[in-house]
Structure 1
């Protein structure tokens, strides 16, 4: 079973490359996986792999077709739209309002508006509610870069299935009313996330930026401006909500449950709900899907007392991630997340230093081909930074952030 899942997941992953981003590299990876599958010379194995691959292939082709239809929409200077905006998706920079909006037809777009006056801007600055809107807009394709080596926002947002932007001419907004219980829970978690961001912004620097990045899953611009070494030395992955934070959360809650003598079954049930809630609370980032699925599978293993191989957990987390976000492996975050965890599944006998060296070697080509930079001290700095983050920085940031809600600590 483990071998079938591993081969099928890798074949399906390579399939996304040729469907969504056909090039020499993606065709090579797909061809390599096809040859590797046939190299096994087992008809039953090939049949099982094919049985798993076909539904994903049909789904990817259909999804790609829908995306192409979305791309082909014509620009329209007079376009009426309606949708919702989550408060934690809003960015305010001076007089500029930016957000990611979900339209009533389920299409996601980038939304831009200019505040007419300071009073309205202050109202939006204090907003923590999910907003429903109807607007007259200018509906256009996200523009391509105009300069050589300029950031390609069109390509970046295409991987998130966002192809167009709207510039607001006039609109009417009001608080969104959820129609179902699950929608109400989702809205509430996003509103709490927005409140957490606003509370974090009131903290002194650099605690403010650290709390937003490590607890709330957002990356404020001040983090790069005040800490230039974070990006230069390749430490940005430590400031991004990822499997590291999910593991820390699970370990902390497990320790608390043991201290209060909570039965194991209740602990696992509560943890499984908290993991899903945390994913929504953190803004539903794509790269967190793998960690949440892996965490749920580990909890399932604990409650059933059945042994599930690390390779099976990795393969299932990849398949779930591709089912939810088909283009996740076309992003640097997705590539690093799955490539590094793939190495970890086969590096259980390596020492801490050997494991980190292996992860640096694997991440090097992925980072270079997208960021074009690599610091010579990056590997050594990561050796020291990873244990310090887990034992010192993250606990201190949590105390500093949650301490503001406890009068005795403020």
Structure 2
């Protein structure tokens, strides 16, 4: 069970962040199920925890601290040591502290991914996921110490096994580490009792034990990488270092593409150089730096400086051209890629060329299948309280995004804010990458509100944007212009009104007609024809604006209406609904939002006009998949879906 609690003050946060010893907390609350992923290809917390036999969350409503536990187990004491170590590393210079926790205790502080962008982009995260390399490194140190002390072979084996068990707990007990620990223990027993097991036997034994203990952890990316790389090491043991490193990198590519959808061409070359440096330079320096902090500070600064330069080098290399947004291949294709790579490792020269050709063709066909789909889609993302819509034409002829979503920041202190600044990176941008999209031709911002364009900087960072379209006059809004200050020089800013016809935009503009600041009543209204249906997107346009729109554009109708202002009663005027004659309404609103969206008055109006409603609160992401003039709706959560009648 996972516990969630909202801290009431900074004192509580300080206690839970800085206390290293166990405390007894009495809590009242309720047991809840994990919310499933509400967007396609979004990280699914329910599945993630279920794979680790964690089925429920406990939502803490109030709690109080009762004191220290009366008795501590060995596991508790190891956790205390880990907590003390992590807090100690938190006081070290920043880069040394991050490397120390990442390589020794397996803990990643909140700023880990901000500082380690190069490690993430270049596919080096496996180095910071405690695994076989770390286990082998520490075992070699323990073995050397015991050899100096003259400890017998059997006692060395017992001590090594006890160390492995303790280190498994100390480093966080990740499922990926379980494979390395089991293999190491079987290997020690094999040597002591001379059982004659091969490395493949040991790997297979570890897999069988893992499947008996925690079978569903095989669905986790870290475990897949752990078993895949260890098998690759066994299969390629007779190859040269360069060939072996290439094979190991090729083994990671399908797994990474299936989970994070992109891969950097330079990752193979970087791994060739970085892996030996880690084993021979970085790891020893980190250990020396950690120990030096206990006895003096003379070596800490130069070690941190070296690590900082090394890390900045990786970050710089990762920004070089070469990042390929591949998309998410099917599971069958991933298995084919992995199988062909393993065959490449064990085949002779005569067969290896054929296998390489087959592997390259598999990648090429999969890439084309993802990037040039025969169908188009109109998608409403579930981004909580906000708006974000995708219009993608068949074969990716045109990609248009209407609004980006974003969090509205209410008055709060720094400690109360989350570490995730832009949720689009894990929701809508994540989905776009999963379907192979790295370029947005048209990014339309309906108006200035943060829940419609707050995540625009994330798109500027992650995507190639052709042009940004805003309502006429919004370029004079300093708050909005600050959001797009870092856009590329090739990204054009275009201010539009209802009299403009924008070449290449697969939609018509129906509002605004006057220049404004980008407030609700200035919202851009877009209409389009897709899949045999007419669509109308109204942003947060209010009732007077709705009536002005139908007055200026006589005969305007739509089969599908994006309900204005998340279903607020300030929009969806009955006269407007009567004139537009929608058959389907799309409502994008956050679950349990403070505004009470969608408003009952709006829902009644839609019901009176026999409009079918798709609501992100109930259906999650809603997609209309179409070819030519026919299509069907699909929802991530169960609810209304199917062909439009």
1:157 aligns with 2:54: no
* Aligned 1:92-131 pairs, distance under 5 A: 108=1, 110-131=2-23
Relative to structure 1, the CA distance from residue 408 to residue 212 in structure 2 (aligned partners, 3 Å threshold; closer, same or farther) is: closer
Q: 1:175 aligns with which of 68, 92, 95?
A: 68
Relative to structure 1, the CA distance from residue 246 to residue 166 in structure 2 (aligned partners, 3 Å threshold; closer, same or farther) is: same
Contact 1:219–1:240 (8 Å) recurs in 2:
no
CA distance in 1, matches of 2:138, 2:212: 25
* Aligned 1:3-402 pairs, distance under 5 A: 108=1, 110-173=2-65, 174-178=67-71, 184-402=73-291
Q: CA deviation at 1:192?
A: 0.7
CA distance in 1, matches of 2:63, 2:228: 44
Alignment partner of 1:287: what SS?
helix
CA distance in 1, matches of 2:224, 2:14: 39
- Which of the two has greater helix per residue? 1
- Count of paired positions: 298
Alignment partner of 2:27: what SS?
strand
Relative to structure 1, the CA distance from residue 340 to residue 125 in structure 2 (aligned partners, 3 Å threshold; closer, same or farther) is: closer
TM-score, normalisation: structure 1: 0.69
CA distance in 2, matches of 1:177, 1:363: 47
Relative to structure 1, the CA distance from residue 301 to residue 150 in structure 2 (aligned partners, 3 Å threshold; closer, same or farther) is: closer
For residues 49-93 of structure 1, give each alpha carbon's deviation from its aligned partner in whole angstroms, at most 9, with x where no partner exists: xxxxxxxxxxxxxxxxxxxxxxxxxxxxxxxxxxxxxxxxxxxxx
CA distance in 2, matches of 1:148, 1:291: 32
Structure 2 counterpart of 1:91: none
Q: CA deviation at 1:147?
A: 4.2
CA distance in 2, matches of 1:265, 1:326: 32
Q: CA deviation at 1:258?
A: 2.4
Contact 1:159–1:330 (8 Å) recurs in 2:
yes
For residues 244-273 of structure 1, give each alpha carbon's deviation from its aligned partner in whole angstroms, at most 9, with x where no partner exists: 000001111122222333333322221111
Contact 1:218–1:240 (8 Å) recurs in 2:
no
For residues 208-245 of structure 1, give each alpha carbon's deviation from its aligned partner in whole angstroms, at most 9, with x where no partner exists: 11011001111223221012111000011111111100
Alignment partner of 2:212: what SS?
helix
Q: CA deviation at 1:408?
A: 7.6
Q: CA deviation at 1:299?
A: 1.3
Relative to structure 1, the CA distance from residue 408 to residue 370 in structure 2 (aligned partners, 3 Å threshold; closer, same or farther) is: closer
Question: Of the two structures, which has the highest relative contact order with CA contacts closer than 8 Å and spacing of 6 or more?
Answer: 1
What is the Cα-based RMSD across aligned positions, in Å?
Answer: 1.9
Segments of structure 2 that go 5 or more residues without pairing to the other structure are 301-645
CA distance in 2, matches of 1:146, 1:298: 44
CA distance in 1, matches of 2:296, 2:156: 29
Relative to structure 1, the CA distance from residue 361 to residue 121 in structure 2 (aligned partners, 3 Å threshold; closer, same or farther) is: closer
Q: CA deviation at 1:116?
A: 2.3
